[in-house]
Amino acid sequence: ARLEAIAALLAAASASSQSPNVVVMLGAGVSVSAGIPDFRSPKTGLYHNLQEYGLPYAEAIFDLDFFRTNPQPFYRLCKELWPGRYQPTAAHVFIRLLHERGLLLRCYTQNIDSLESAAGLPRERIVAAHGNFDSASVVG
């Protein structure tokens, strides 16, 4: 109910506007609230948790050459982030409400968890800077 009230206020404030103009930019914090670990936090981040697989450097998990020699770290990450395991947060729902009220121009996200889509935000409103599970494809 609180999010509905905030979205209604935004709609009223934007009533004189001819076009939607709200742009949302999301980072790891919004997904951490859903229980998804971020990448870099000491002791709890995904990179830290994947070190047991002997990564030469943290970002190797996304390196195609490394994947070809050792795909296990990437598969573990996929299992950790697989859609349906986590639920959208109030922030994700709020963004959907902005869209439903005609206020949202675009939602830019650095997250790969697809929680924006899970909250009901249409794919055409989402720009996933690093890709996401909604648009993943097999390489190699």
pLDDT computed for residue 135 by the predictor: 72
pLDDT tens profile 47-101: 777 777 778 888 888 899 999 998 988 888 888 778 888 999 999 999 999 999 8
pLDDT computed for residue 22 by the predictor: 87
Active site residues: 130
Collect all residues with Cβ–Cβ distance below 8 Å to 126 and sequence separation of at least 6.
106, 107, 109, 116, 117, 132, 134
pLDDT computed for residue 63 by the predictor: 92
Helix then strand then coil, % of the chain, to nearest 5? 45, 10, 45
Question: Under a CB-based contact definition with an 8 Å cutoff, are residues 73 and 14 in contact?
Answer: no
Domain annotation for the chain: domains and CATH numbers: 1-35+88-140 (3.40.50.1220), 37-85 (3.30.1600.10)
Structure-block tokens of residue 89? 């947060």
